[in-house]
Amino acid sequence: MNAPEPAFAAPWHAQLFALTVHLNEAGVFPWSDWATRFGGTLKAHGLNKDLNGGDDYFDAWLETLETLLTDLGLAEAEAVSAMRTQWEKAYLETPHGHPVRLR
């Protein structure tokens, strides 16, 4: 018997999806607003390459969520950018197979 295909290619895809659904269900934003914004981001990203549901798809998802939360006044663009930079630095400095941690 074959194991089913995973629903998400990477754990962070699932976490990002769950966070977005949670914020919607908590009333932070209506799903229709999310869908319109995400569609626009996908269209913009899709002009340059084919999106396959992997990292490129979820990079667009993350960009949309960050922008939406900033537009709603729930996140500051500078803070989001700084956090992204910190995570990237931590990721690049973490040995393969070890958990990524912010300092």
- Name which of 34, 28, 58 is nearest 45 in CA terms: 58
What share of the chain in percent tops pLDDT 90? 51
User: 68-81: string of b/e by CB count within 10 Å (b at 16+)?
Assistant: bbbeeeebeeeebe
Give pLDDT, residue 47. Answer: 57
Give pLDDT, residue 49. Answer: 59
- pLDDT band at residue 55 under the 50/70/90 scheme: confident
